[in-house]
Amino acid sequence: NRCSECQFTSARMKTARNVAFMYGRMEARMKLPQGIGTWPAFWMLGGDLIEGVPWPECGEIDIMEYRGDVSERMTSALHGPNTPKGSGLGTTFLSYAPLSADYHTYAIEWRKNSIDFIVDGEITGRYTSKDTGTRGWVFNQEFFLILNLAVGGTYAGEFIDPEMNLAEFKVDYIRYYSVNGVGKVIKG
């Protein structure tokens, strides 16, 4: 939507209908923006969303989600029909320096019935189908990738620093690998 009164623009890139992934390692080396109201994210949605399966039933994998006003903390989470509402199944990564000060690598290693969240080579959280039990695990399907920088919103808060006139979300690379021969890229 176009907004004649909007002061900020958010940006998003997504692979839906072009490229999907199933299992393997997805990673990006990024330098996050700083500033009250910035909300960068590196995440994935279940491919069945395109076919009409609603959120959260389609599944969501938040590899990296960050608030620019809490510069030493980043979160990762899984959202599905049977994960805790709002927070999902998630983990927090805490840094001694602002995550906006340097590049960091954010990744998942995704296998059937299991996902590890990884920051700079260290596992920060591990979730398996046992964590949702009989309630269901919706992550054994194709997912598409999304990279975005939102300004404002429910996660970052409605307040945006009035002095901010630029926020840069720098991406050195995004890479995908199979792990021990498991994982595939699906062209749309």
CB atoms within 10 A of CB 43: 21
Q: What is the pLDDT of residue 186?
A: 96
30's CB contacts (< 8 A; 6+ apart) are 40, 42, 64, 103, 104, 105, 106, 169, 170, 171, 172
Name the residue among 14, 36, 26 with its Cα closest to residue 106: 26
- Segment (H or E) for 143: strand 143-151
- pLDDT digits 0-9 by tens, 94-113: 999 999 999 999 999 999 99
- Which residue ranges in the chain fall short of pLDDT 50? 1
Q: What is the pLDDT of residue 163?
A: 80
Q: Is the peptide bond preceding residue 84 cis, with omega within 30 degrees of 0?
A: no
**Unique residue bearing structure tokens 């049977």:** 82
Q: Which residues are marked as active site? A: 60, 65
Q: What is the pLDDT of residue 138?
A: 95
- pLDDT digits 0-9 by tens, 10-45: 889 999 999 999 999 999 999 999 888 899 999 999
